Structure 1
Amino acid sequence: MQFPQIPEQKKYNNRSHMTPEQEAMLAAINDPDNLSKKNEKILRECRDFYLKALKFLKNIDLSKINEKDAKDIKSYLNTIFNYRGVLRNNIYFKYLYRITLVRDHFLEDGKVRDPGFIGYPPLDIIKKIGIYGRANSTETTVLYCSFSENIALLEAKPRVGDRIIISEWIKESDEPFVSYPILSNNIQINEGLVKAYRSLDKTLSGYPDLLKRINMLYFDFIGGEFVKDIPVVHINKFEYLFSAYFSDKVLTGEENKAQDGNNFQYDCIIYPSIAAKHRTDNLAIHPNSVHKLRINSLRDGIVTATNYDNCQEEDFDINSQISVIGGKETRILASIENGRIIWSDD
């Protein structure tokens, strides 16, 4: 795979441990009205490079790449995006929902007892299966949740005959989650997304045009990868390579570590739900932030009917009382004691 050549402006120098591009960006931010000819030239050349490189990346058929290709692409991304656009949005919510497809190895005498099977997958399992998610690579794990039960069901799309557990999670603290919002200017139906994009546009309005353009190329590329609705056919789900790469950088990269080196600045990434046609959002939550939630209810049952293809707009509403599936509920949560799930029929 022959990638577009990296320009000198994006290569680190020993003098400042920064790239000429980074130095030019910093100068433009600190004094936007007095951008020097030298820095203007650097930013223009970088903008032209991004236009070429991002077009090249978008044209890669990720469904046909192999593991070496994936490794080379990520290495190239590390060189292209040797900075991270900083976004931060506090989000307030009470409940989240998640669907767990029950596997045989989850069971003890026919029942799931370990709450760990309800939450995010263990990292060793992620590494073993080698499959990418929209917001995680094969080296990371996150807790995927939705703001409504129906959206969680639409995302998971369990089939008739599947045994599932619907979990409701509650955030008891009034403190917000700090999120990294995924933006897209092409989506007008999601009110929160539109507001966030306008806020970003307002923030960047004080920047020189070249710097604003570079930032928007960055955010539009990321947003486009998160909201793309394409068939996922690769055995490793490499179609998610770009969005997973950026998720890893945001949630587990060095930039996310707080000054104490242990805690993390971002609790989650918030991104538009493909299954809900972008009308609402999903969360990919960092494992270190899951302790801020607790399991509030569990319902174990068998899917007997689905209605995914005939959803109406009201089905996407957070308060919808009509489920997109039919099912036979077998048991509900009674309590969790000493790290063990106690069911209503125990």
Structure 2
Amino acid sequence: MSQKTVLVTGSSGFIGYHLCRRLLADGFRVVGVDNLSDYYSVQLKQDRQEMLEQYPDFSVINRSIEEPGLMTELFAAHEPAYVVHLAAQAGVRYSIENPRSYLESNITGTFEILEAARAHPPRHMLLASTSSAFGANTQMPYQETQRADHQMSFYAATKKATENMAHSYAHLFDLPVTMFRFFTVYGPWGRPDMALFKFTKAILEGKPIDVYNFGDMQRDFTFVTDLVEAIRLLMEVIPERPANGVVPEGDSLSPVAPHRVVNIGNSESVRLTAFIEAIEAATGRKADQNLMPIQAGDVPATWADAALLNRLTGYSPQTSVPEGVARFVSWYREYYHTVPS
């Protein structure tokens, strides 16, 4: 096992790209896996990947994690000390149209990674989940110790299933696992299917934006570099099976396995209207809003209690929405060669 090797799935994705850059800057050797799926712009993924390939300590395999035996081969060849599993079919709404892609990528893909770790155990596995796993819960802010039984989209259901799958492997094979639940991540190089990207594009093109639930939505917007900082710190916080099943109060550590769930959020629930105002300020243009009812599978609000993250790492995300949105808009203008009017 190489103490300095990290295997990152979804390395050419939005979060994966930022995490890989951080790990490479910290002196790690990074092995990426990404199938460059066409769920959104393949060119955007290729551009991210080309930037990573400029680092001598980065290598990438452009294949699918659900390919039988591939992950076991990679674990055997590279012996990663850390594995950060970010590859997934994302998107709440697309899971209604194409649920099979979520089954294959999220469930089968995660199974292949767990089997690989069983055969070649890393020091620590960190797997991405989602705030959508909290489902129909209405008690906020969301705490990791709350039950999460009522997922409202197939996407959320597959991610909650991966938490349970990983727990069983952690229990049976003593594999240290940290699951992190992301809360509406945004920032430069973001996904075109996310609200910030769609809103910015439409506003700059003078087109209307679709605002769901008539604008009565709240999200815990988390800037991508804050998220990456949290993941980097959590890599060194390796869960241990608790002695006698005793778990400290407020900790989501399993009583029977080295398995923990950690929220990564900004600990602030921001109204969608305020988010749009931040985009208007950054673009210098007013949005033409097309108010619409809430979409199937969506939740009206999310809000993270990130106290456990702070207790484990001493870190709390810092970037305000106006600052983060301005940084995204600046990147968008540069990448797409748009100029202020």
Band of TM-score, shorter chain? under 0.3
Which structure has the larger Rg over C-alpha atoms?
1
Choose between structure 1 and 2 for higher RCO, CA contacts under 8 A separated by at least 6 residues.
1
